[in-house]
Structure 1
Amino acid sequence: MTPVQQTYPAVPAAPAGVPAARGRALTKVYGRGDTRVTALDAVDVEFRRGEFTAIMGPSGSGKSTLMHCMAGLDSLTSGQAWIGDAELSALDDTGLTRLRRDRVGFVFQAFNLLPTLTALENITLPMDIAGRAPDRAWLDEVVDAVGLRPRLGHRPTELSGGQQQRVACARALAGRPEVVFADEPTGNLDSRSGGSVLSFLRSSVREMGQTVVMVTHDPVAAAYADRVLFLADGRIVDEMTSPTAERVLDRMKAFDSAGRVVEVG
């Protein structure tokens, strides 16, 4: 007997003018006593709609923690985070799950595709789980933008790494989320495949009005963004607009081997 799929209504999008995501006094502490580590130290941040933001910093600076807390994948020790007009700490587990499903897209370094599903089935999987039919016109636009229409019937093992990551990007955009969070999305790719994925994320912002927040260690990847936020010791220490790989690399040289700021450019 086929199980009945339960359908949950989509979470309404935030009113126009509200940032796609924002945080106030974001603080995340791990451990206690001698093992206590402050990964985020009272961070204020805002991600505007239709903007591509890269987050950079030395290892241990808090960049992935910031993204995970903003995306509702990790809880805060204190402070507040919003996706649109929804304050994450005010939601119960069900509400938080619905918000991540309906208003947030995720792209990670590991492609996280199901090997038994085709590319198209992987793209529509979150909506299938939610019991919602995709917007066919939007889905077609995303599929064409990702450039894999001839490969939609292929399973992940029949796709290159770059093609798999583009499927993951398409899956993140297919539900028309308010914001896409990408954690080192090109970390497992060669430069050509990585450039293809970054170009797709860039075009999703420019042509589709998507909001993208990407954690990266690569100055070339950061140069695809509209702005770059630099973290050190759990704090935002600088911001750069209209970045180039050379400017970003020069700015990263301002951190010592321990991740501390040694100069401000």
Structure 2
Amino acid sequence: MSTFVAQPHASATAAVAAKATDLSKVYGEGETRVIALDQVSVEFRQAEYTAIMGPSGSGKSTLMHCMAGLDTVSSGSARIGDTELTGLSDKKLTRLRRDRIGFIFQAFNLLPTLNALENITLPMDIAGRKPDKEWLERVIATVGLADRLKHRPAQLSGGQQQRVAVARALAGRPDIIFGDEPTGNLDSRAGAEVLGFLRNSVRELGQTVVMVTHDPVAAAYADRVVFLADGRVVDDMPEPTAERVLEHMKRFDAKGRTS
């Protein structure tokens, strides 16, 4: 069977921020063996916003976790820039995640005893790095938090807390940001705000964002959508709209019901 290879739609001159080559992930053995990813090959270029979509169990979160160094691969290659993740020691992997990757999850993961600014700079503080003041100010302006920096999480709305999480992911100028359903716990208005900030971070700050989502409206903020099914990349949509993405997902659902 031929393997679909997702092709990036950013400028051909843009460098590759992350790349999977024939990446497979298998859980369990024997009767309990599950192939979560089956020889996936995909590139994510710098300053590109990619959404990863697919039915439940398609492998989209597993792909993100393997690419971000949060899970090991069974075979194949996962790279951040020129760095091959497979075989890195725990210490080097921890350093890579800390220094070169930003994370945004459904849960905001803010420390309640710290104010917004302290939460934003926490990863750099732990690493013993001083924030780039000019960059930090740009990030804070991009996510609209200038008047909330002294507030603790309990004093912020859910949308504001997720904006803090976005700013924290951006503040260290990572090579790439991975988001796992980053608007899953937000109402539609707050979710749209956060998605808009991520869009602006790509357009105005040159950030690279890869986001797992089940929401066609969220996917429409991206430059492209990579579709997974049964652990394989099956399609790659440039310039998505919510309507086109929804139609695509309906076809997946129809295939699932008839198979």
Q: 1:152-177: CA deviations, max 9, x gaps?
A: 00000100000000000000000000
Matches of 1:170 and 1:212, distance apart in 2: 13
Question: Match for 1:143 among 140, 146, 151?
Answer: 140
In the other structure, the counterpart of 2:78 is 81
In the other structure, the counterpart of 2:176 is 179
Question: Match for 2:93 among 89, 96, 120?
Answer: 96
Question: Match for 2:52 among 52, 55, 58?
Answer: 55
TM superposition shift of 1:33: 1.1
Question: Match for 1:254 among 247, 251, 256?
Answer: 251
Q: 1:149-207: CA deviations, max 9, x gaps?
A: 11000000100000000000000000000100000000000000000000000000000
Q: Name structure 1 gaps, 5 residues minimum.
A: 1-15
TM superposition shift of 1:252: 0.4
Check if 1:133 corresponds to 2:110.
no
Give 3-state SS (helix, strand or coil) of 2:55's partner.
Answer: coil
Question: Match for 1:163 among 160, 164, 172?
Answer: 160
Would the aligned equivalents of 2:14 and 2:45 in 1 still touch at CA under 8 Å?
A: no
Matches of 1:88 and 1:38, distance apart in 2: 20
Paired AA for residue 204 in structure 1: S
In the other structure, the counterpart of 1:116 is 113
Distance 1:86 1:188, change over 3 A: same
Would the aligned equivalents of 1:205 and 1:212 in 2 still touch at CA under 8 Å?
A: yes
TM superposition shift of 1:34: 1.1
Give 3-state SS (helix, strand or coil) of 2:251's partner.
Answer: coil
Distance 1:28 1:217, change over 3 A: same
Would the aligned equivalents of 1:61 and 1:259 in 2 still touch at CA under 8 Å?
A: no
Check if 1:65 corresponds to 2:56.
no
TM superposition shift of 1:91: 1.5
In the other structure, the counterpart of 2:205 is 208
In the other structure, the counterpart of 1:232 is 229
Q: 1:228-265: CA deviations, max 9, x gaps?
A: 00000000001100100000000001113785898xxx
Aligned CA-pair RMSD: 1.4
Q: 1:21-65: CA deviations, max 9, x gaps?
A: 001111000111111110000000100000000000000000000
Paired AA for residue 109 in structure 1: Q
Q: Work out the number of aligned pairs and report it.
A: 247
Matches of 1:260 and 1:202, distance apart in 2: 34
Matches of 1:258 and 1:153, distance apart in 2: 51
Paired AA for residue 50 in structure 1: A
**Normalising by the residue count of structure 1, what TM-score does the alignment of the two structures yield?**
0.91
Would the aligned equivalents of 1:18 and 1:85 in 2 still touch at CA under 8 Å?
A: no
Any runs of at least 4 consecutive aligned residues in structure 1 with deviations exceeding 6 A, and if so which? Answer: none
Paired AA for residue 216 in structure 1: T
Paired AA for residue 73 in structure 1: L
**Normalising by the residue count of structure 2, what TM-score does the alignment of the two structures yield?**
0.93
Question: Match for 1:45 among 27, 30, 42?
Answer: 42
TM superposition shift of 1:90: 3.3
In the other structure, the counterpart of 1:191 is 188
Matches of 2:218 and 2:258, distance apart in 1: 22
Would the aligned equivalents of 1:232 and 1:261 in 2 still touch at CA under 8 Å?
A: no
Give 3-state SS (helix, strand or coil) of 1:239's partner.
Answer: strand
